[in-house]
Structure 1
Amino acid sequence: MSAARLAANFRTSKSTAHRWIAADRAPVAVLLALWLSAPSFGWRTARAEVIEAENLAALHAGHARALGDELERLRRELARVLAAGDFGSANAPTWRETAGELMAARRTSLRR
Protein backbone atom coordinates (compact mmCIF):
# COMPACT_ATOMS: atom_id res chain seq x y z
CA MET A 1 0.00 0.00 0.00
CA SER A 2 1.29 3.41 -0.86
CA ALA A 3 1.88 6.07 1.77
CA ALA A 4 -0.63 8.33 0.00
CA ARG A 5 -3.37 5.70 0.18
CA LEU A 6 -2.53 4.90 3.80
CA ALA A 7 -2.66 8.60 4.71
CA ALA A 8 -5.97 9.08 2.91
CA ASN A 9 -7.58 6.03 4.53
CA PHE A 10 -6.54 7.03 8.04
CA ARG A 11 -6.87 10.80 7.60
CA THR A 12 -3.27 11.56 8.46
CA SER A 13 -0.38 13.23 6.65
CA LYS A 14 1.75 11.49 4.07
CA SER A 15 4.83 12.04 6.24
CA THR A 16 3.15 10.18 9.12
CA ALA A 17 2.23 7.33 6.80
CA HIS A 18 5.84 7.24 5.50
CA ARG A 19 7.09 7.12 9.11
CA TRP A 20 4.75 4.18 9.92
CA ILE A 21 5.94 2.28 6.84
CA ALA A 22 9.64 2.97 7.49
CA ALA A 23 9.41 1.91 11.14
CA ASP A 24 7.02 -0.98 10.37
CA ARG A 25 5.04 0.34 13.32
CA ALA A 26 1.76 2.18 13.66
CA PRO A 27 -0.85 2.84 16.34
CA VAL A 28 -2.71 -0.28 17.40
CA ALA A 29 -5.99 1.02 15.95
CA VAL A 30 -4.31 1.43 12.55
CA LEU A 31 -2.72 -2.03 12.70
CA LEU A 32 -6.05 -3.56 13.65
CA ALA A 33 -7.85 -1.79 10.82
CA LEU A 34 -5.18 -2.87 8.35
CA TRP A 35 -5.28 -6.44 9.64
CA LEU A 36 -9.07 -6.64 9.41
CA SER A 37 -9.09 -5.23 5.91
CA ALA A 38 -5.87 -6.83 4.67
CA PRO A 39 -7.44 -8.52 1.61
CA SER A 40 -8.80 -5.21 0.34
CA PHE A 41 -5.58 -3.27 1.04
CA GLY A 42 -3.25 -6.05 0.00
CA TRP A 43 -0.87 -5.14 2.83
CA ARG A 44 -0.33 -6.56 6.26
CA THR A 45 2.33 -5.54 8.76
CA ALA A 46 4.65 -8.03 10.38
CA ARG A 47 3.22 -6.98 13.76
CA ALA A 48 -0.30 -7.85 12.61
CA GLU A 49 0.96 -11.30 11.59
CA VAL A 50 2.56 -11.73 15.03
CA ILE A 51 -0.64 -10.65 16.78
CA GLU A 52 -2.66 -13.16 14.76
CA ALA A 53 -0.15 -15.94 15.48
CA GLU A 54 -0.17 -15.16 19.22
CA ASN A 55 -3.97 -15.14 19.33
CA LEU A 56 -4.21 -18.43 17.43
CA ALA A 57 -1.59 -20.01 19.71
CA ALA A 58 -3.49 -18.90 22.80
CA LEU A 59 -6.76 -20.18 21.33
CA HIS A 60 -5.31 -23.59 20.48
CA ALA A 61 -3.52 -23.88 23.84
CA GLY A 62 -6.80 -23.19 25.63
CA HIS A 63 -8.58 -25.75 23.47
CA ALA A 64 -5.88 -28.34 24.22
CA ARG A 65 -6.20 -27.64 27.97
CA ALA A 66 -9.98 -28.01 27.77
CA LEU A 67 -9.67 -31.30 25.91
CA GLY A 68 -7.12 -32.55 28.45
CA ASP A 69 -9.44 -31.60 31.33
CA GLU A 70 -12.35 -33.38 29.65
CA LEU A 71 -10.22 -36.48 29.07
CA GLU A 72 -9.19 -36.54 32.72
CA ARG A 73 -12.82 -36.12 33.83
CA LEU A 74 -13.92 -38.99 31.60
CA ARG A 75 -11.13 -41.22 32.90
CA ARG A 76 -12.21 -40.53 36.50
CA GLU A 77 -15.83 -41.27 35.60
CA LEU A 78 -14.87 -44.53 33.89
CA ALA A 79 -12.77 -45.58 36.88
CA ARG A 80 -15.71 -44.81 39.20
CA VAL A 81 -18.13 -46.86 37.10
CA LEU A 82 -15.72 -49.79 36.79
CA ALA A 83 -15.02 -49.73 40.52
CA ALA A 84 -18.76 -49.91 41.27
CA GLY A 85 -18.85 -53.49 40.03
CA ASP A 86 -19.79 -55.79 37.24
CA PHE A 87 -23.42 -55.17 36.44
CA GLY A 88 -23.83 -57.83 33.78
CA SER A 89 -26.46 -57.44 31.15
CA ALA A 90 -29.47 -59.26 29.75
CA ASN A 91 -27.50 -60.43 26.74
CA ALA A 92 -24.26 -61.30 28.54
CA PRO A 93 -22.88 -64.67 27.36
CA THR A 94 -22.96 -66.08 30.91
CA TRP A 95 -26.49 -65.10 31.85
CA ARG A 96 -27.85 -68.64 31.48
CA GLU A 97 -25.20 -70.00 33.82
CA THR A 98 -25.97 -67.33 36.36
CA ALA A 99 -29.72 -67.84 36.04
CA GLY A 100 -29.24 -71.62 36.26
CA GLU A 101 -27.16 -71.26 39.41
CA LEU A 102 -29.83 -69.06 40.96
CA MET A 103 -32.59 -71.52 40.13
CA ALA A 104 -30.56 -74.43 41.54
CA ALA A 105 -29.89 -72.51 44.74
CA ARG A 106 -33.58 -71.65 45.03
CA ARG A 107 -34.63 -75.30 44.56
CA THR A 108 -32.10 -76.39 47.15
CA SER A 109 -33.39 -73.88 49.68
CA LEU A 110 -37.00 -74.88 49.00
CA ARG A 111 -36.23 -78.57 49.64
CA ARG A 112 -34.89 -77.86 53.10
Structure 2
Amino acid sequence: MVKNTGRPGYLQIADDLRDQIRRGTLAPGEALPSTAQLATAYDASLSVVKLAVGVLRNEGLVIGQQGKGVFVREDAAPAPPASDELAEIRATLRDLSARLERVESKLADE
Protein backbone atom coordinates (compact mmCIF):
# COMPACT_ATOMS: atom_id res chain seq x y z
CA MET A 1 0.00 0.00 0.00
CA VAL A 2 1.25 3.47 -0.83
CA LYS A 3 1.92 5.49 2.31
CA ASN A 4 1.58 9.22 2.78
CA THR A 5 5.30 9.85 3.40
CA GLY A 6 5.92 12.68 0.97
CA ARG A 7 7.68 10.27 -1.41
CA PRO A 8 5.71 9.88 -4.64
CA GLY A 9 3.55 6.77 -4.72
CA TYR A 10 5.00 5.50 -7.97
CA LEU A 11 8.49 5.51 -6.42
CA GLN A 12 7.22 3.64 -3.36
CA ILE A 13 5.70 0.99 -5.61
CA ALA A 14 8.85 0.80 -7.75
CA ASP A 15 10.94 0.41 -4.57
CA ASP A 16 8.77 -2.45 -3.36
CA LEU A 17 8.74 -4.25 -6.71
CA ARG A 18 12.51 -3.74 -7.08
CA ASP A 19 13.01 -5.24 -3.64
CA GLN A 20 10.88 -8.25 -4.59
CA ILE A 21 12.99 -8.74 -7.72
CA ARG A 22 16.24 -8.44 -5.77
CA ARG A 23 15.05 -10.93 -3.12
CA GLY A 24 13.86 -13.34 -5.78
CA THR A 25 10.20 -13.14 -4.77
CA LEU A 26 9.66 -12.08 -8.38
CA ALA A 27 12.01 -14.45 -10.20
CA PRO A 28 13.70 -13.87 -13.57
CA GLY A 29 11.27 -14.60 -16.37
CA GLU A 30 8.25 -14.30 -14.07
CA ALA A 31 5.39 -12.02 -15.04
CA LEU A 32 4.53 -9.08 -12.84
CA PRO A 33 0.91 -8.97 -11.74
CA SER A 34 -1.29 -7.01 -14.13
CA THR A 35 -1.54 -3.25 -13.82
CA ALA A 36 -5.06 -3.64 -12.40
CA GLN A 37 -3.86 -6.20 -9.84
CA LEU A 38 -0.97 -3.97 -8.77
CA ALA A 39 -3.30 -0.96 -8.52
CA THR A 40 -5.57 -2.94 -6.21
CA ALA A 41 -2.68 -4.34 -4.16
CA TYR A 42 -1.10 -0.91 -3.65
CA ASP A 43 -4.39 0.99 -3.48
CA ALA A 44 -3.16 3.27 -6.25
CA SER A 45 -4.39 4.46 -9.62
CA LEU A 46 -3.50 2.71 -12.86
CA SER A 47 -1.39 5.68 -13.95
CA VAL A 48 0.67 5.57 -10.74
CA VAL A 49 1.31 1.85 -11.24
CA LYS A 50 2.27 2.42 -14.89
CA LEU A 51 4.79 5.06 -13.79
CA ALA A 52 6.27 2.62 -11.27
CA VAL A 53 6.63 -0.12 -13.88
CA GLY A 54 8.17 2.47 -16.21
CA VAL A 55 10.85 3.20 -13.62
CA LEU A 56 11.72 -0.51 -13.43
CA ARG A 57 11.71 -0.72 -17.22
CA ASN A 58 14.15 2.21 -17.44
CA GLU A 59 16.38 0.50 -14.86
CA GLY A 60 16.43 -2.62 -17.02
CA LEU A 61 14.81 -4.84 -14.40
CA VAL A 62 11.65 -5.65 -16.37
CA ILE A 63 10.70 -5.89 -20.00
CA GLY A 64 7.26 -5.56 -21.57
CA GLN A 65 5.92 -7.91 -24.20
CA GLN A 66 3.03 -6.48 -26.18
CA GLY A 67 -0.18 -8.32 -25.36
CA LYS A 68 1.53 -10.67 -22.88
CA GLY A 69 2.57 -8.56 -19.91
CA VAL A 70 5.63 -7.27 -18.12
CA PHE A 71 8.30 -9.77 -17.09
CA VAL A 72 11.33 -9.72 -14.83
CA ARG A 73 14.37 -9.74 -17.10
CA GLU A 74 16.41 -12.92 -17.12
CA ASP A 75 19.57 -10.87 -16.59
CA ALA A 76 18.14 -8.56 -13.91
CA ALA A 77 21.07 -7.48 -11.78
CA PRO A 78 21.11 -9.03 -8.31
CA ALA A 79 21.29 -6.89 -5.21
CA PRO A 80 24.80 -5.64 -4.52
CA PRO A 81 26.57 -7.52 -1.74
CA ALA A 82 26.04 -5.92 1.64
CA SER A 83 29.80 -5.89 2.23
CA ASP A 84 30.32 -3.49 -0.71
CA GLU A 85 27.72 -1.13 0.67
CA LEU A 86 29.21 -1.40 4.14
CA ALA A 87 32.71 -0.69 2.79
CA GLU A 88 31.38 2.42 1.04
CA ILE A 89 29.73 3.63 4.26
CA ARG A 90 32.93 3.04 6.21
CA ALA A 91 34.98 4.99 3.64
CA THR A 92 32.53 7.88 3.82
CA LEU A 93 32.70 7.88 7.62
CA ARG A 94 36.52 7.92 7.53
CA ASP A 95 36.44 10.87 5.14
CA LEU A 96 33.94 12.76 7.30
CA SER A 97 35.97 12.03 10.45
CA ALA A 98 39.13 13.39 8.83
CA ARG A 99 37.31 16.51 7.68
CA LEU A 100 35.82 17.06 11.12
CA GLU A 101 39.25 16.64 12.70
CA ARG A 102 40.67 19.35 10.40
CA VAL A 103 37.82 21.74 11.26
CA GLU A 104 38.25 21.12 15.00
CA SER A 105 41.99 21.66 14.69
CA LYS A 106 41.46 25.00 12.92
CA LEU A 107 38.96 26.12 15.55
CA ALA A 108 41.34 25.16 18.36
CA ASP A 109 44.13 27.21 16.76
CA GLU A 110 41.95 30.34 16.62
With structure 1 as the length reference, what TM-score do the two structures score?
0.28
More strand by share: 2
Larger Rg, first or second structure (1 or 2): 1
More helix by share: 1
Q: Which has the higher contact order (CA 8 A, sep 6+)?
A: 2
